[in-house]
């Protein structure tokens, strides 16, 4: 339990005092779905150049618990979060080895917790843990803040998280077109800055990640289906079956994946001997084509300087390659978070917490399963 993502690399809280302008030490907490995650992150800089340094990050995945049911069971998720969250917190404190526990707790400037969208019983476990911790630490640490975070903003801002590539200069980013693709969402945004964006399209039915998970089930692959489809698809022929690409030529920027899913269902029912790898590859190609074509068209129409990609489905390498190719064709930049920060994690919640602080946007500490971006 508690897979550690990064060892501490900061000597002490003084390291963040050399930040430019603002700086904050943030504890991020994420429990919106089937990952319990906590991270300690130092954030620096103002809205023109925010930067983040990960001190330590912990994730406990519930995949094995939900796998027999073929999907996430909300009450099981809640039970697992309740069980895991205190252990992860202890690990965070213990792994921040350069400072004693009290000092770490007193050095916190904010606790950032996901309040939605997601499974409400799961969200509440994180919110209640954050509130209790806040009340406890506030006795000693009078300036401590608690920030409610939109999970989708966590994904959206994840391209700013530390990665091997050089620091991103925001003048090379905006205006941008941002594609957020996860198990619950498929959203296209036009972004003018880190403060201003507008939704220009979204799925009218299933989210793209959901369609990967459902098609994986049809092919008798385990949950979660996205990575399994990607692995199997790599062994198949993506031109073997021409699945429909619903709404691909529609004038708007909306998506639809339920018709594609149904086509795969009928195909597998009517072609019992079909190669599963070919079905997986052809499905993946159809789903990604729709995402890439609309994102590219939006980037062109809005004269974007960059395309931003985030969310669990952004872990798909073929999607990266396709969007990179389109970006090159259009002479726009392409930014995505480091691969491990595509799927749900608490580093992105700490990051979005800092952005919410800079933007002076704090959400109510109430679970909101259908919170929009």
Give the shortest CB-315-to-ligand KG4 separation in angstroms.
Answer: 4
Least Å distance, CB 200 to ligand KG4, is 20
Contact residues: ligand KG4, CB under 6 A: 33, 182-184, 209-210, 212-213, 224-227, 230, 311-313, 315-316, 343-344
Q: Quick one: what does residue 209 bind among ligand KG4, Zn ion, none, with the CB cut-off 5 to 8 Å set by partner type? A: ligand KG4
Rg (C-alpha) for the chain, rounded Å, is 21
Count of residues in the chain: 373
Cα–Cα distance, 217 to 228 (Å, whole number): 10
Cβ–Cβ < 8 Å for 306, 324: no
- CA gap 14, 363 in Å, rounded: 29
Half-sphere exposure of 329 (CA within 13 A, CB side): 13
Q: Residues of 330-359 as b/e, b for ≥16 C-beta within 10 angstroms?
A: bebbbbbbeeebbbbbbbbbbbbbbbbbbe
Identify what 315 binds: Zn ion, ligand KG4, none; CB under 5 to 8 Å per kind. Answer: ligand KG4
CB closer to ligand KG4, 222 vs 259: 222
Residues 6+ apart with CB under 8 A from 283: 215, 229, 233, 243, 260, 264
C-beta closer to ligand KG4: residue 60 or 182: 182
CB of 155 to Zn ion, least distance (A): 6
Binding to Zn ion in span 327-346, by CB under 5 A: 344
Q: Which stretch binds Zn ion (CB under 5 A): 182-190, 274-282, 297-305, 316-324?
A: 182-190
Q: Residue 2 or residue 117: which is nearer to Zn ion going by CB?
A: 117
Query: Rounded distance, CA 30 to CA 39, Å?
Result: 9
Minimum distance of Zn ion from residue 122's CB (angstroms): 12
* 343 interface partner picked from Zn ion, ligand KG4, none, CB below 5 to 8 A per type: ligand KG4
DSSP state of 271: -
Q: What are phi and psi of 72, to 5 degrees?
A: -80, 125
Closer to Zn ion by Cβ: residue 3 or 167: 3
Number of chain positions touching Zn ion (CB under 5 A) = 2
Our CB check for ligand KG4 shows the closer of 256 and 343 to be: 343
DSSP structural state of residue 143: T
Our finding on whether 182 is near Zn ion (CB under 5 A) is: yes
351 binds, among ligand KG4, Zn ion, none (CB under 5 to 8 A by kind): none
Cβ-Cβ contacts under 8 Å for 87 (sequence gap 6 or more): 1, 2, 60
Strand order from edge to edge, sheet including 3-6: 3-6, 51-61, 35-44, 23-30, 110-116, 145-150
- 184 interface partner picked from ligand KG4, Zn ion, none, CB below 5 to 8 A per type: ligand KG4
- For the bound state, the minimum distance from the C-beta of residue 312 to ligand KG4, rounded and expressed in Å, comes to 2
Those residues with Cβ within 8 angstroms of residue 55's Cβ, 6 or more apart along the chain or in another chain:
8, 9, 10, 25, 39, 40, 41, 42, 96
When CB distances are held under 5 to 8 angstroms depending on the partner's kind, the choice from Zn ion, ligand KG4, none that residue 212 binds is ligand KG4
In whole angstroms, the minimum distance from the beta carbon of 276 to Zn ion comes to 27
Comparing CB distances to Zn ion, the nearer of 154 and 296 is 154
227 binds, among ligand KG4, Zn ion, none (CB under 5 to 8 A by kind): ligand KG4
Q: Which of 244, 248, 329, 258 is nearest to 294 (CA)?
A: 248
Q: How far apart are CB 97 and ligand KG4 at their closest, in Å?
A: 29
Pairing of strands 333-335, 110-116: unpaired
184 vs 246, beta carbon nearer ligand KG4: 184
Least CB distance from residue 77 to ligand KG4, whole Å?
12
Q: Enumerate binding residues for Zn ion (CB under 5 A).
A: 182, 344
């Amino acid at each position: 339990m508690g897979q550690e993502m990064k060892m501490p690399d900061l000597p002490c809280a003084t390291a963040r005092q050399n930040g430019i302008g603002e700086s904050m030490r943030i504890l991020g907490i994420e429990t919106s779905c089937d990952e319990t995650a906590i991270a300690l992150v130092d954030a620096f800089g103002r809205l023109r150049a925010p930067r983040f340094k990960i001190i330590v990050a912990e994730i406990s995945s519930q995949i094995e618990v939900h796998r027999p049911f073929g999907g996430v069971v909300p009450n099981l998720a809640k039970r697992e979060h309740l069980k895991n969250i205190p252990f992860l917190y202890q690990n965070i404190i213990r792994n921040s080895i350069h400072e004693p526990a009290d000092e770490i707790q007193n050095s916190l400037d904010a606790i950032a917790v996901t309040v939605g969208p997601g499974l409400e019983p799961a969200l509440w476990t994180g919110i209640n843990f954050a509130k209790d911790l806040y009340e406890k630490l506030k006795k000693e640490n009078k300036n401590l803040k608690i920030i409610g975070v939109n999970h989708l903003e966590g994904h959206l801002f994840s391209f700013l998280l530390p990665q091997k590539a050089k620091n991103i200069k925001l003048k090379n980013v905006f205006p941008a077109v941002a594609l957020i693709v996860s198990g619950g969402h498929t959203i296209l945004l036009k972004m003018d800055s880190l403060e201003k964006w507008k939704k220009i399209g979204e799925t009218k039915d299933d989210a793209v990640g959901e369609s990967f998970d459902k098609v994986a089930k049809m092919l008798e692959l385990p949950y979660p289906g996205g990575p399994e489809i990607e692995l199997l698809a790599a062994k198949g022929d993506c031109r073997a079956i021409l699945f429909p690409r619903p709404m691909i030529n529609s004038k708007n920027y909306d998506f639809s994946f339920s018709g594609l899913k149904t086509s795969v269902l009928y195909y597998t029912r009517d072609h019992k001997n079909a190669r599963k790898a070919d079905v997986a590859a052809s499905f993946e190609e159809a789903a990604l084509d729709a995402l890439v074509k609309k994102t590219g068209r939006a980037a062109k129409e809005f004269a974007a300087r960059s395309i931003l990609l985030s969310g669990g489905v952004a872990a798909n390498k073929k999607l990266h390659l396709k969007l990179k190719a389109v970006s090159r064709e259009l002479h726009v930049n392409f930014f995505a978070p480091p691969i491990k920060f595509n799927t749900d994690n608490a580093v992105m919640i700490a990051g979005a917490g800092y952005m919410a602080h800079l933007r002076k946007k704090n959400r109510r500490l109430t679970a909101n399963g259908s919170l929009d971006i």
